[in-house]
Amino acid sequence: MLVSKIRKAVSKLYVQVLIGIVAGILVGHFYPDVGSQMKPLGDLFIKLIRMLLAPIIFASVVVGIARMNDLHEAGRVGVKAVLYFEVASTIALVAGMVVVNVIKPGSGMNIDPAHIDSAAITTYTHAAKQHGMLDFFMSIVPNSIVGAFANGDMLPIIFFSVLLAISLARLGPRTAPFVDMLDMFLQGMFGVVRIVMYVAPIGAFGGMAFTIGKYGIGTLASFGELMVCLYLTSIFFVVIVLGLVMKMCGLSLWKYLRYIRDEILITLGTASTEAVLPQMLIKMEKLGCSRPVVGMVLPTGYTFNADGTAIYLTMAALFIAQAMNVHLSIWDQLLVLGVLLLTSKGSAGVAGAGFVALAATLASMHKIPVEGLVLLLGVDRFLNEARAVTNLIGNGVATVVVARWEGQLDMQRARAVLNRESTAEYEVREPHTQPSIEPAVGSNAH
């Protein structure tokens, strides 16, 4: 009986991922040389997922918008999503600023900028020079759509997908066979995701073993106060802010977190929200959000709604100022806040996006030394886990909010899914829509 229960528990994806994370921590701590060589395992899993992102996002956006009743509906959903993204990001930025001012994790470090070797951050500072708002808007339009797909540039892919979907919607019913074909292609891509998810525990193990093996648990102690600030603020934002938002939508945040626990643990282990985007598209639709809303809001949220990154950016900027004894008046801090509202959006799709956005902000301020980024290099991987998980949860909540706001959320189905009840009687039968797909192998979602 006991063996049967253990076997049943281990068959669940979130348990396998949790085992991978714990094993990675132990290997990285006790065998750091071995752990630091495990990075390819995590990278391979991320690469497998990234291989699928471009076609999945393309098909999701096109099918979602093309099947809307009219283009005004698509525009309305887009405006509501952007409005929510801006409000949520601003609250996250302010929360980070308040906490870092109260706790002051950088005070007393007395770092002299002249003694810092900035060679390690040249990649980020160089990228920050091409990080203005004009460059951001220019990057939305690709030189070649084939090149955008080949490079996995999400913004250009979303832009092209929206244009194609609008043109298909305007052509009317005669495009239905093509949209149906794209929908079947999307189901095939989700089938590939289910296969890839078998290696998620290995990816989580590799990512965690590398992090602990390379940087060591001792790194956590030296920047412990900053890490505690970021993690506590992220928890506060999720529990209080997003919890209130979910309550206003008539749903339980705790039950929602339980529903996406597989994705939370994978994100924690790999420090990447990209690793679970395909799974989130599936789960948000199963939750009762309409396919058009999910197809528009979730991929766009990955680009524009980085709540965890917003918290990190304000905290990191003010932490560097405190560590280097740079006094910032309230007006200086509000200026940092205003600049971050722009640079945090322009960081989408850039490798090391948080660092690039931070470098761009510090460079534009001319008051906080950009060289201070070196202070965060060793601990950034640990900070990235908190902001990635917060981003993941925030984007799921954003999808629920817009769907509820638009009247495209099946509340009976959502409550049944979150309460782990049978959802057969709440199945939505849309024209030209394929049968609802099952969750990933090993998932405990119902």
| One-letter amino acid for residue 224 of the chain | G
Which has the closest alpha carbon to 297: 426, 409, 389?
A: 409
Q: What is the spatial distance between Cα 180 and Cα 59, in angstroms, rounded to a whole number?
A: 10
Which has the closest alpha carbon to 300: 71, 74, 42, 69?
A: 74
Tokens describing residue 109: 């470090």
Which has the closest alpha carbon to 195: 371, 440, 404, 375?
A: 440
User: What local confidence, expressed as pLDDT, does residue 236 receive?
Assistant: 93
> pTM to 2 decimals?
0.76
Residue 289 φ then ψ, to 5°: -75, 135
* 429 three-state secondary structure: coil
Q: Compute mean pLDDT per 10 residues along the chain, 446 residues long, and list them.
A: 73 81 87 87 83 84 75 80 88 90 80 57 51 66 86 80 86 86 88 85 86 71 78 93 94 94 87 83 91 85 80 87 83 80 55 64 72 73 84 93 91 91 52 37 38
Q: How far is C-alpha 134 from the chain's CA centre?
A: 24
Question: How many other C-beta atoms lie within 10 A of the C-beta of residue 46?
Answer: 17
User: What local confidence, expressed as pLDDT, does residue 209 receive?
Assistant: 86
Find the angle CA(357)-CA(359)-CA(362) to the nearest 5 degrees.
110
Q: What is the spatial distance between Cα 59 and Cα 183, in angstroms, rounded to a whole number?
A: 7
Instruction: Decide: 210 and 28 in contact? Cβ < 8 Å.
Output: yes
User: What local confidence, expressed as pLDDT, does residue 10 receive?
Assistant: 75
Domain 11-422 sits in CATH at: 1.10.3860.10
Q: What is the spatial distance between Cα 215 and Cα 313, in angstroms, rounded to a whole number?
A: 21
Instruction: Decide: 19 and 117 in contact? Cβ < 8 Å.
Output: no
Which has the closest alpha carbon to 393: 286, 248, 208, 237?
A: 237
Instruction: Decide: 32 and 216 in contact? Cβ < 8 Å.
Output: yes
Q: How far is C-alpha 372 from the chain's CA centre?
A: 26
User: What local confidence, expressed as pLDDT, does residue 351 receive?
Assistant: 42
User: What local confidence, expressed as pLDDT, does residue 191 receive?
Assistant: 86
DSSP collapsed to 3 states, 156-186: HHHHHHHHHHHHHHHHHHHHHHHHHHHHHHH
Specify the DSSP element, H or E, that contains 34.
Answer: helix 32-35
| One-letter amino acid for residue 61 of the chain | V
Which has the closest alpha carbon to 38: 19, 48, 23, 49?
A: 23
User: What local confidence, expressed as pLDDT, does residue 226 receive?
Assistant: 85
* 409 three-state secondary structure: strand
Residue 406 CB contacts under 8 Å (≥ 6 apart), including other chains: 73, 76, 77, 80, 290, 293
Which has the closest alpha carbon to 350: 362, 359, 339, 341?
A: 359
Q: What is the spatial distance between Cα 310 and Cα 240, in angstroms, rounded to a whole number?
A: 16
Please, how many CA atoms are within 13 Å of residue 73, restricted to the half-sphere of its CB? Answer: 18
| One-letter amino acid for residue 349 of the chain | G
User: What local confidence, expressed as pLDDT, does residue 113 receive?
Assistant: 62
